[in-house]
Structure 1
């Protein structure tokens, strides 16, 4: 599990094909060396550290992950959002992020918003877990949905978010990893499968703490 609070911005220093996928070498500036076998979120995708030498770690991505995420579009020199896995005694300042990308969506617009930026993103095919003022992770960044329409939603990026993540670099038409709120998806599945007979309404969302 992760929180959606980016710890540092890394740089892809090398990528190479391996049987069934790709290997990425990514530089970082974490305070400590990453442990072999540890989980790390790269642009919101949970991967496993194979090794970490001289502040450059290696991860491997296989076809299942490559087909469901925007990671194949990374090139040498690309910046990436990095977050280490949440410790059981750690602070949950964002929201629970699994590192399992729901869909890849496209950036539709960027407009000034106060001292920040409003980012407009295409609505995914599967809308489970997306509600107004609900949580969403974009390239691993925990954000709040400001507006939800029939074909897009928007999030508002404050200066701190722009400074500490790669979202400031996103261009119109660029693809981005999206993970909807896993807790709300679970609630939705309960209702749809008949495990929970309660309807999902705004009042129920308020009771569950989503509104």
Structure 2
């Protein structure tokens, strides 16, 4: 489990495309400082397993399903990624419950900078928008954020906005993310459980 508090920005330094998979080599001195073979590290919000460690870098294998469901398939050497180690038992819970299981990919619609914060609007796939509420939690490329506004327009469909402070901009990839960029989205898992249980309860009541 993760909390969506990015520990460092890493860099993809190698990619090998395999049959129905890809192997990424990623530089991340902080997250590899105490990592071991088999550990979990979130890369842009995708929980991946360390298969090799070497000199401040780690290697992960990404299967075709994960590539299809996330934005990782668009990344190659030189790309910057958000990194977070799995939360240790007894660790400080700084963000919200993040599983590292991407639910879908959104698209950055606009970026509005101001003196003290920047507002980013992201188009949300229609099947995910029902889980997004104002002041609720959302994970964007592995970053735990609070939804500041939601809406819908004719061109892009459903969208959400997040307001980013300078620290978030400087310490994560959202500070260098451009319009039309694809970003990984993970909605609040509690909302999905509530929906599932509510549906099950209605079904039992109809029996």
TM-score (norm 2): 0.91
Match of 1:186 among 172, 190, 193: 193
Q: What's 2:105 paired with? A: 104
2:123 maps to 1:116 = no
Structure 2 unaligned segments of length 5 or more: list them: 153-157
Superposed counterparts of 1:119-158, under 5 Å:
119-126=120-127, 127-150=129-152, 151-158=158-165
Q: Is the 8 A contact 1:128 1:188 kept in 2?
A: no
* Mapping for residues 37-52 of structure 1, pairs under 5 Å: 37-52=38-53
> Secondary structure of the residue that 1:65 maps to in structure 2?
helix
1:169 to 156, 172, 176: 176
1:15 aligns with 15
Q: What's the Cα RMSD here? A: 1.5
Are the aligned partners of 2:105 and 2:124 in contact in 1 as well (CA < 8 Å)? no
Contact kept in structure 1, 2:107 and 2:122, CA below 8 Å: yes
Any idea what SS the aligned residue of 1:183 has?
helix
SS in 2 for 1:50: strand
- The CA distance in 2 between the partners of 1:3 and 1:122, in whole Å, is 23
Distance 1:175 1:39 in 2: 23
Contact 1:128 1:184 in 2 (8 A): no
Matched residues in 1 for 2:148 and 2:20: separation?
39
Q: Partner of 1:6 in structure 2?
A: 6
* TM-score in terms of structure 1 length: 0.89
Query: 2: distance between equivalents of 1:81 and 1:91?
Result: 19
Post-superposition CA distance 1:89-133 (Å, at most 9, x none):
111110010000010010000002441210000022222421110
Q: Distance in 2 between matches of 1:188 and 1:11?
A: 37
Shift of 1:195: 6.3
Looking at structure 1, the residues matched to 57 and 145 of structure 2 have their Cα atoms a distance apart, in angstroms, of: 28
Q: CA deviation at 1:196?
A: 9.7
For the residues of structure 2 that align with 1:75 and 1:87, how far apart are their CA atoms?
Answer: 30
Q: Which residue of 2 is the match for residue 204 of structure 1?
A: none
Moved more, 183-192 or 132-141: 183-192
Structure 1: gaps of 5 or more residues: 198-211
